[in-house]
Amino acid sequence: MSLKSIALSDMQKYCSLSEKCKYDIVKKLSKYQLESDEKEAIIADLCLEGYIDHNRFANAFVHDKFKFNKWGKLKLKYELQIQKIESVIIQEALNTITISEYEQMIRQILEKKIKTGVHDKEKLIKFMQSKGFELTETFKILNQLI
């Protein structure tokens, strides 16, 4: 078996575990002593076989990081840009979060933080910004709570 076929098989297994993007595969392939054209061929094969799909990756990423990590749209967008996902795909994935879900998440995070004794608006706003939530959305809900 050639090194290229071993690398392809390993990448197929890697992609089967969870959604991956091209950026993830490029990083993972760097440990193999392959020529750049061989790496590109592996990536092309993975795309053709459906192992790499940026739409699917972005949707799963947005869903999971919003639901479990409680990240805002700004942080989600930034992290997807780092992974070299196209801006159109990023926007489509972000649009899967409804306005009501988004506002509810902001409300839940703020209420939890207020219950811990933080009542300083400036601190709450900085905290929400660190999680990637927009200033206007945070202000709107914060003014309802305090």
Within this chain, do residues 83 and 103 fall inside the same structural domain, yes or no?
no
> How high is the pLDDT of residue 140?
95
CA 116 to CA 110: how far, in whole Å?
10
CA 60 to CA 143: how far, in whole Å?
32
Half-sphere exposure of 13 (CA within 13 A, CB side): 8
Within this chain, do residues 103 and 141 fall inside the same structural domain, yes or no?
yes
Within this chain, do residues 106 and 86 fall inside the same structural domain, yes or no?
no
Within this chain, do residues 16 and 37 fall inside the same structural domain, yes or no?
yes
Q: What pLDDT, in 10s, does the model give residues 14-27?
A: 999 999 999 999 99
Within this chain, do residues 71 and 108 fall inside the same structural domain, yes or no?
no
On whether the CB atoms of residues 55 and 89 are closer than 8 A, the answer is yes
Q: Say how many domains are in the chain.
A: 3
Domain span including residue 136: 99-145
> How high is the pLDDT of residue 71?
98
Within this chain, do residues 109 and 141 fall inside the same structural domain, yes or no?
yes
> How high is the pLDDT of residue 1?
79
Within this chain, do residues 104 and 140 fall inside the same structural domain, yes or no?
yes
CA 37 to CA 136: how far, in whole Å?
47
Low-confidence ranges of the chain (pLDDT < 70): none
> How high is the pLDDT of residue 146?
83
